[in-house]
Structure 1
């Protein structure tokens, strides 16, 4: 496309004109040195630009590079790398016409997602006294919540404190948000006094028998 500029009004003593030609390329062309050259197909790059005698010369992209659309690039784009140190693994391998697609490793979620996941972090673990409200996904971290009253957890799910009395036992230690209640057998709490009472009763009976026998023996001697 050529544009004509008449500068005679600015410079009346001289008739000056300038013609500027600007390339107006269509969607299938790219501009270089004022010329419109045909683009290369996806998966290829420009090896040699067109001229007045020849069309664009294209070449296939080297390994681990790509172009995903018609282009006028002289160099292909480098394939993305799914770095495990960033919590990533390959979901779809790179081809001549598409970039590598990364996804989070198992137990990780993406924290930098544009057209492709660039970095992922490990799912959070819930603390003791909490439970997992929502499991983490590849796009979201774990959601934790506190256990309700009268329950406890190790960070996974909540359990109700044991009701010792309903089991006929005694509570010797109250439950917390991280530990269960501790119970003692009610029968055992009374068993020791009963045993001691029985031992003392038996011992007392033995002593009485011994005393009685001694008295009877002393009477016989007399």
Structure 2
């Protein structure tokens, strides 16, 4: 009994001599798996799948079965190696003095070279922030005003301290009127004592 062969139906194939009673179904490249059709299925070959743009194969035997999206580099990093169909993106940290939004590193702006003042230092994710320098006369005026305010403040402190010292020393003084009364009292006491001694002497002579 002889074998009769027939052509495969659409979306089926056989790629080697065989004794199959039916052809093999063509593979489906599912976008939900990150796949696209790289080569259409024929009567003698299966569909060839490849990763979508921005994806890479993670399950590859003779055909890509599943793919994942390339990693995105974080701010402060740069793309060291761009991702391919078979390899993920490789990221590295930006070197000191530079920053990145996740694509490539750029040097921090040198404010001094632009004759400006740095108001915020750069980080690995942000650039330095610069501001125009104030005119020299304005800086001098600011310094003079600050100096005058400082001197005024010191003067006020000195006056307050002197007043407190004066008040404290005055509280221990004896009033002038009290001193005069005390002096008169001592003189009267002395005179009375002298008079009594003289009277006593006269009585003895008699």
Q: TM-score, normalised on structure 2?
A: 0.65
In the other structure, the counterpart of 2:50 is 103
In the other structure, the counterpart of 1:85 is 32
1:124 is matched with which residue: 71, 75, 83?
Answer: 71
In the other structure, the counterpart of 1:112 is 59
Is 1:181 the counterpart of 2:124? The answer is no
Counterpart CA distance in 2 for 1:142 and 1:102 is 21
Unaligned stretches of 5+ residues in structure 2? 144-206
1:167 is matched with which residue: 84, 100, 114?
Answer: 114
Is 1:59 the counterpart of 2:6? The answer is yes
Q: TM-score, normalised on structure 1?
A: 0.61
The alignment yields a C-alpha RMSD, in angstroms, of 1.8
- Residues 195, 114 of structure 1: alpha-carbon distance in 2 compared, 3 angstrom cutoff: same
- Residues 173, 179 of structure 1: alpha-carbon distance in 2 compared, 3 angstrom cutoff: same
Counterpart CA distance in 1 for 2:71 and 2:84 is 11
Displacement of 1:125 in angstroms is: 0.6
In the other structure, the counterpart of 2:81 is 134
In the other structure, the counterpart of 1:148 is 95
More strand by share: 1
Hey, which bits of structure 1, 4+ residues long, moved more than 3 A?
A: 189-197
- Residues 173, 55 of structure 1: alpha-carbon distance in 2 compared, 3 angstrom cutoff: same
Is 1:94 the counterpart of 2:38? The answer is no
Displacement of 1:63 in angstroms is: 1.2
In the other structure, the counterpart of 1:216 is none
Counterpart CA distance in 2 for 1:182 and 1:79 is 59
More helix by share: 2
Between Structure 1 and Structure 2, whose CA radius of gyration is higher? 2
Counterpart CA distance in 2 for 1:162 and 1:190 is 23
